[in-house]
Structure formats: structure tokens, C-alpha cells
Structure 1
Amino acid sequence: MAIEQLKDAETEPGLAEGYGSEPLRILLLEDSDLDTELLGGVLDDLGHPYDLDRVMTQADFTRAAAARAHHLILADYVLPTFDGLSALAIARVQCPGTPFVFVSGTLGEDVAVEALKRGATDYVTKQRLDRLPRTIMRALSEARARAERERALQDLRELNETLEARVEARTRELAAANTELHRQIVERERVEEALRQAQRLEAVGQLTSGVAHDFNNLLTVISGNIEFLGRAVADERSKNRLAMMRGAADRGARLTAQLLAFSRRQRLEPTPVELNQTVASMRDLLQSSIGGAVRIEMTLQGDLWSALVDATQIELVILNLAINARDAMAVGGCLTIETANVTLTQPPARVEEPSPGAYVMVAVSDTGTGIPPDVLARVFEPFFTTKAVDKGSGLGLAQVYGFAKQSGGGVRIDTRVGEGTSVRVYLPRAEAGPRAEPVAPQAVDCAARRESDDRPVILVVDDDSAVREVTTTILSETGYAVREAGSGLAALQALELDPCVDLILLDFAMPGMNGAEVEGEIRRRWPHLAVMFATGYADTTVLMRGGEVGTDRIVQKPFRGGELERKVAAALADPPVQGLRLVASRAGRRD
């Protein structure tokens, strides 16, 4: 009756709560059939279904424990082949979470204490089997509590790991958001600064445009009346004064032209322009403008696109930039002019820079003092200058800026203080139109243009003006009619206008197109013209490699002992074709 009450009060609700209707699986290590039967009767009083797996040998017990299929282990202490402590050791290894209860009739107190120390859950003597249900209930309850604690700890560990991962992920998100916020702040500040600069330049542009317009009206009145007075005065002194007034009016007109250029209200006539030809043809002008202390180098891209610009204005832009570069190199240096095809993809960082697109770029670089940051922020403002009084108007870069923007391009300045500056002007690329059909060569009757006693005509092509002057003087004094060209492109343009020459004397080392390239173009377009080379190189194998020119058509610099006169006379005595009827190509400029 006591066991039944225990079952009703404690055992049944506890087992039902922990296992529901699932049978309680018990592993029994017992060699006695009688004791097994007695234990079965006690287990029946639990009031909960159970499955009892009985084993008697060490091998069977080990296999059953390794399966981990039982909720409880009941074990006798004294067995035929091994003892209960050995079984306990096996169970702690194979199924450490399964409660282990000794049920033995010979278990002394010392042995029981040792068993508990080694991991046994509890013990019951066979003389007091009435304690077994309570012991089983407590062992199962403790096992469930221990399993729940382990699950809770595992869940806590997993939560901590998840939390750490979430914290790391959130930290990365916050860092990325902070970086993006910083980028947006920087971009906003850049855009605001560009807007302020654009508004400032626009306001100044409107002001200068109005001033230039009114000033031009005044100059018109002044210039007109100077012309009227020039017709009326007769004395030399008055004429000189009028000439000075006329010169001042002209300077004023040039000043207003620069103001209109900055305000982007000048009159432009954009046409497809070959910048390589423009730059190469300006070499002599640039050298004379910047002086001999500055070396000029040109890096011209061979397949340069055509630029859609006003040809006259781009020459003024290049000249302005070259003069600024000269002023930045007080003790001389190197001026480099570069052309290139450029495709921009990034939005402009400053208001003067171009928008994304395809451009023809011309850059003027120097090895001068560079531009400090505070000055760089204002270089495009009209009348802003760091030069001494009367050394500059402060309109050079303003004019460059206005021209580039009005043309549809932009300007970029790269500079380092103490190292130099590079001003890059981006000009819109001319749309490629349909390729012109080649024009058939037209016959030019040079005999009809020449008198029988006309002197032979020699075209001297040399980029060095001093050398060219020496050469032309020698040939003129020898009795020849001499024409000049300062570059290969200039020579080709001169031949297009008048191909009636008897001999072309080409310098070999020239910027842009060297002498060999010019000679190849002449052979293609005017195959009947005679060509000679003048070179300062001792090795002439490059000129003779193609087999078209022999040593008799090459003269070394400096000229010695009448060699130039002798070889020119020999070349004229043995022209490529008898007679003066030449074929000249009128195909226009090269693609």
C-alpha cells in the first residue's frame, strides 16, 4: 500500500511529465533470475510502461551501453565474470549521461561511497527494494535536470556565438554606413564648393561681359575718330601721337577679347582641327616667345582625333599657356606640349573640369615652381595674378577656361609646388564624318608658270630657324630661289599651295614628323619631286636603309668645303623625271 501511494503521489506524475507515454527503457545487469523477477515486481509498481533489457556478461553490457538507448541502468555489484565498478567505468565512457543505480545484497557502506565517488547515481540494497521507486524517480529527475542544464548551457554558448557574429556583422554594417556617410559628406562639400565656384565665376563672367561690351563701344568711337584725325593731320609729330593712340586702342581691344573669352561670349567658329599640325606649326612662334633658356619638347599622339574648335583661338590658348609656363621657370627648364585621345568616365571634381565623354587633350607642362593650393583655387578668376604689377593682366588662364568651356570641354591643372605644373585642355572630339573619296591627282604645268630663265627653286625644311637661315643664305648666294618651311607639316602645306619646286632639302631630326616621314609623304603625293637630306647624325644608315636615298643625296651638318653646293647642283642636274611637268595631289589634309 505504501508503494502504491508513492506511485500515486510522486512516481506516476513525474514519469508522465518527463516521458509521457514513452516506455521507460531500463538496462539491467543481473545474473540472478530470482532477483530479476523481484525487481520486475517492484518496477511494475511504478505505474509506467517500461522495457527491461537484461544482460549478464561484460561484452553484452558494453554493447548495450554503447548503443545509448536506455534511460536508466540498474546493476548488481557481484557478477560471475566482472564486478559492478567495472560496469560503472564502462557506462561512464559509453553513456555518461545515463543514471547508474547499484542494486545489490552485498554492497557495503565503504563500497557504496566509492561507487558514488566514481559516478554512480545512487544505490539500493536488495533487502530494501521498497526504496527503489523513489531512487529511480530521483535519478531520472536529476538526469533530466542535468540534461536540461547542458541544453541550456549549449543554447547559451550558441547564443553567445550568434551574438558575437551579430555584433561583428552589425559593427561592419555601422562601419560601412559611417564610411558611406563620410563619403557623402565629402561629396556634398565638393559639390557645394564647385557650385559656389561656378556661381562666383558666373557672376564675374556676367560683370566682365557687360564691361567688355561697353568698353568695345567706347573703343569703336575712339578708334574711328583716330582714323578720321589721321586723314586730317599732316605734321609728323601729330601722326606719331595718333599712332600711339591707335596702338593703345588695339591693346584695349585685345583686353576686351580676353574678357569675352572668359565670360564665354566670344564669337567662335568651331571646325575640325588637327591639333598635331597646329602644335607642330607653332614651334618657331613658341620658341621665340619663351626664349632660348627653355627647351621645348613635343609628344604628339599619332592617331589623334580631330578636335571641334576655333582654330585661331586654340593657337592663342597654347601660346598663353606656354608664356605662363615660361614665367614659372625663372632659370629656364623644359616646356612639354602633349596631345592625346582621352575618354573620361568620372564626373568632374571641380567646376572647370570637363564632363564625362570623349575629348582631344592638349597639355602644356613645365618644370617650374608649381602652384600653391590657395592660389590654385583662384587661378581662373579674371584679373587674379601673382605676378608683379605690369607683368601680367591675370586674364591668361581665365581666357583658357572660358574658351574650353564655351567649346564644350574643360581644363584640369595638375601641380606640385617646387616640381612643376601641367595644364590639360580637353576639347570636344569632332564627329567622324563620311570619308572623302580620294581626289584624282591633277596635272600642274609648272613650265607654264615659269620663265625660261627662272632660277631653280629649292624648298628648305628645318625646324631650327638659325640653321635654316644659314642654309637659305648659302643657297641664295649660290643663285637659287629659296622657299622655307619650319616643320614637315608646314612643308606639305606649302607644297599643296605650290608644288613647283626643283628640290626639297629636308632636315632629318624634326619634331612631329621627322624628315623620313615627310619624304615618304612627298613620294606618295608628289612622286616626281627631288629630295635631299641634311642631318647632324654621323650614322646615315637609317636614311639609306630603304634604298631610296644614296650618299649623294645626304649632306652632313655642319656644312663643310662647299659640300652643300656640290650635292645640290648634282641633284638638280639629275632630276627624277626630265622636264617640269609635275603631278600634284589636291586630296587635302591627311586623315
Structure 2
Amino acid sequence: MEERYSKSSRNKKISSRIPVILAIIILIFSSSIWFFDYIDGREQVRQDTKIISDVSTTDIELKIVERIDLINSIMMTEWISTANITHLFNYDRFLAIVPGFFSYYDSYLAINYINTSDVISWVYPFESNQGALNRSITTLADGSINDAYIEARDTKQVRITPVISLFQGVKGLASYLPIIFENQLVGLFNVVFQIDTLVDVVLDAFHNQNYNYHLLENNIQFYEHGTKFSHTDSFVLETKIVFYNSVWVLHTRPNLDLRFQGSIYNNIEILFFGILASIVSFAFSRFIVNQNKLLEENFKKKEEIEKIMFQYQKMDDLGILAGGIAHDFNNLLMGLQANFSILTDIQLELLLNSSSIDKTVTQEMKETSLSIQELLERSVNLTSQILSFSRQSVIDLEFINMKTAIENTLRIITQSSDKRIVITKTLEKEPMFIYGNTSKISQLIMNVILNSIEAQPNGGTLDIDMRISNINSYHIQLGELDRSIGYDLEKMIVLQIRDSGSGIAKEDLDKLFVPFFTTKTKSKKGTGLGLAIAYRSVRTMFGDITIDSVQAEGTTVNIFLPLITKNYLIEKNIKFTQISNEGISEFDIKLSDKIKDSETGKLDEMKETEETRPKIMIVDDETAIRRGLRIYLKDKNQAISEFENGIDAIKFYEENENFDLVILDVNLPGMSGIQVQEKIREITPNQKILFITGYSEDSISVDPNSNIYILLKPFTKESFLSKIGEILSPEGLH
């Protein structure tokens, strides 16, 4: 019954939202129609303006060029078509020819003749141009140098002035046409145009009532057609007019009626209708919501309670299960730890009571002790992670040595990380303690380092730098610190984890701490919670976290944590001295004072000569594995050479290539096991090779007849020796 009420409530919620959704759809639909109509109208106005502007520009350019070309082609041909050079300086001949061309276009102001002394000798028409007669043409009416004339005279090419003030008192252009007779300059014709007359003829023909025009040269306006307007108007279209050595710019703007067609006010009634319809729909939806308000509140409270109870029950069940497993596992670990301690004492007594101490046996016992101790520590850490996940462990705040946290995390990661990634760390010598939660800080460091490793699928570098710095050196915001805890109010811990990976896009940097945002591909199965959890963890410890990244260069994660003062650590009797002999087991310490004088020990009486023992090379970066394989093979009298990386192994193999078998781990630092095998096969094509790997057999392609074998980890001593015997048979193990 309650379930039906819950479903009914949800259905009513959906029904009450339909008018709201409908109102939004109406508003979006009407707004879209209005918006796209506005875009289309504006684009149409711009297209029409462009057509008019292009046509006007082309016609203005043609009008100027054809007037100059007419004088240059026809007049020059007729003027110099004489065998008598004196005819070129005949004024009566000038008056007989020029008037016919002058009347051809109404935009001509003057056609003048300039002699070789740079003086205007003849003018036409005389009445309106007599002020220019006998004047030097090297300067213009405003007194400036006439560069166009000088260039035309010197280059014997047609040149035209910018828009200038003419001797006739108007704005215009002056063109200079060199007269060449028998390859000699005998003078120049000067053709003068009036701008207004020339341009009006063009623009009056193209809907001048719908468009306004401005002409500019060198950003200076010299002509206006229609009303004035701002050149920054969004409707203004700019086109260039290029002729000879001049460049003009034509600004074209449609009139108010055309601009309205491309404005937001065009068809605004569509938007008003959509708003009105949306208001009506919204009012209706409010009515529905008010009618169902009480019922929805009751069901909402009920659903919230059920949701909370379900979450509590689920977490309780998971916590009980994980907590029970972790509890039993802790009991087992406690028993192992106790028995290990007893075994250590027994071994110590046996060695102390022995008449002589074998150095080799002592060393093996020490190494075994270290290995067992490390495995116990890793098991304890695993149990802590299970308890933390199940939420059964108490989230306590304590003083944490950040150096130890970094070392422990790196010890776990380096065992399974890609060996092609070179990890370096730089830790300041001063004690660096924080007040926080061990589980959270370990998870924080682990998440950041794993992200950096995943960002470098082809190998690279991972630099970890931790130091003490002034708080004011960075633009960060630490949380409000509890004054009862011995925080340093001026200094803090700065942990930087830097990789050489692919980097993060600039637009994604602000989203990195948003839950469920991830830049990982589906194949990497990123949840988008790692950095969100990291941010929350840092903030709970009153710190801050930032990320700097450059694509194709790498990423740096900066973690800032409040520092506990050294004096406070002393006051609270917290040990902060860094242990210099880190990694030495209890067994080592007990023996250190007892075996100083027993360094030699007995030699193995079963030792055979190098020539009679099969030679085997072991290449594995894990010391414990190399040691285990060596011990397995020791009583079989094998000649063993072991290396922790492929580079050293290849170098040794080149000098000592007569090996009966090479045992290779697949995942090696620097060179992978596959690459080492390829190098060895280049030296000895039929060399027997045994791959030991934790991957599946499908990860390595092996030809059954290629003398290459595979043994999957983990394996027992018996299966290992059986495989070796099979490979070396009949000369193998006996």
C-alpha cells in the first residue's frame, strides 16, 4: 500500500510539472523562431548590403580607370602620331584635339599640358583653370610636394594623386600621363577629376535612397553620400577600391528601414506571444502544485526516511561483512606476528649457541626476516584499508609523519607500477608532521600518484618534492586552525607531485575537483571521484590543493597542509627523529653486536667447478623473487648470475653468452622482458628463455618450437624446478 502511495505521489509530481515543461517549451520554441528570424533577417541585410557595396566599389574603380585610360590610350596615340617633333609643342594643335575628349565625360575639371621644366604650359578650359597656368607642378595647391607627379616623371608611368584640394577650389584627383616620343619624355598630360561629380554618377544609380556611403583614404573621410553615420556601426560594410597607386575604402550602411529588418525588434511579437503563453502555463502549473502540495510533502518525507534507512541498512550490512573479515584477518596477522617474533628468538638462540656462524646462512636468515616483516606490514595496511572502506574503523585525528606516509605509499606503488616511469623524491630533512587522519592522507597521496602514473602510459618521470615553505609564498587559503593544536602560523608543508604526462586541457582545470568529472577514457574506467575525494580530504585537514598543467608538458599537483611545530612535538613527547637504518629488521638489530667477528663462515662443501654446472641467468627487478629463485636452484648446483634490470643483463650477456637458460620477468625497468629477449636472440638465436609473469599466457606470443617458455606467477618450488628440469632435459636437473 505504501509503495502504491509512493508511486502515486511520483506520478502526481510528474503531472504537476507538465505545465511548467510546456511553458518552457513554448518559450523556447517561440524564442527560437524569433531568434532565427532575427539572424536570417540580419544576414539578409548584410548580404544585400554586400552586393550593393561590391557593385558600387567596382563601378567607381572602373569609372576612374576608364577616364584615365581613355586619355592615356586615345590621346597619346593621336598626339604622338606625327613625324615632326615640333607638333608636340604646338598649342593650336592642343586646342584642336583636347576639347573633344574633355566633353566625353562630365567629371573632367581640366586637361593640362606640363612641359619638361615641370611647368603647366597649357590649360583647358582656360577660363576655369587659368590660375594653374605657368605654375610649377612639383608642389600642390596646399604647398606639399607632388609625389605622384615626380614619380610619374621619373618612372614614365601613369600615376595619380591621393584626394587633394585642387587649384579649382574643390576636392579631386590629379593624374599624370607621360608623353613618350622616340623613347624620350617630351612632357606630361595632367587630367583632373572632381570627386563629387564622379562618385555621384555611380552611387545615384544604386538605390541611393536605401543606402548611405562614406569614402575614406588613409582613414580620412573625403566624401559623403546620404546621411552621416558612425563607421563602428555593426551594419556598416567596408570594401576597398584599388586603382593605380591609390587605395580607397567605401563604407556602406543600409537606411533605417533595412536595418530594422535585421534588428531584434523585427517580429518581436513572436517573442511576446511566447512569453505570454509561458506565463499562462506557469500560472496553471502553480495551481496544480498548490493543490498537491500537502500530499507531496507527506510522501516526500516518507521517501526521504526510507532512503536514509535503506542507506544506513546497506552500509551497516557492508560494514558488518567487511568488518568481520578484517577482524578475523587481524587475528590471523596477530598470530603470525607473534609466531614470527618467537621464531626470530629461536633462530637467535641457535646462532648464538653455535660454535661457528656461517655468514651465508646468517645473511639468508636476515633477508628472510625482512621479507616476512614487510609482508606482515603490507597485510596490516590492507586490513586498514578494508576497515576504512567499510566505515567500521574510527576516524581519528592524530599526528602523522608525512615522510613516513610518502615512503609507505611509494613502497606499495613501486611494486606494481610501470618500470618505465622513473620515480624520484626529494624530502626536506626537517620533521614534517600534520594533524590528520592516516587513512585519508594515504588515500590522498595514492590517488594523486596513480593519476600521474596513468597519465604516462608510455613511461616518463614522476617527481615528488616535499618541503616547508612560508604560507604567504602561495596564493592559497588554509582552513581555520585550532589554536589548541601546535600549528605553525607562518609556515606550512608543500607537497608537489609532478609528472611528464600528456597534461590537462586549460578549459578542464576548473572542473577537476567537481564530483564525477573525469578526463579518463572509458577503457581506464575513471569515476571522477578521485580528485573530489582528495580535495575533501585536504580540506578536512585544514589544507588546500591546486593543480597546474600544460598540455604535452605535464601536470603538477600542489598539496598544502598546516605544519605542526617542532616545539609542540617535543612538548607532547612525539618522536620525530628520522631513523637512519630504515628497513633493518628486529632480527638484524639483535645480531648486529654478536657477529662482528664472524664475517667469513664456511664455504659450501658441495660446490662444484664452474665448468660442470649449468649456467642460468635470472633477470627480475624484485629482490625477493631473485633471492627465492636463487635459493630454489642452490642445492641443484646451478651457476647463477642475477640482475635487477635488462640493461645490466644484456651487457653481461654480451661478455658471457654461454648460458644454458635465461629467466626473464616480463615487466622490467628500462627495458621490458620482451625487449631483453629480442636483444639476447640477436646474439644467440637459439638461446633458451623462460618468462615468469603474473599476466596471462595470452600476453606473450610464443612459438612452441622457439625455445621460449612461460611460467605463471605465483608458483611453487616444485613447479618451478619441474619446469627447469623440463627445459634443460636431458642435461638438466637430476
- Common fold: TM-score over 0.5: no
Larger Rg: 1
TM superposition score normalised by structure 2? 0.26
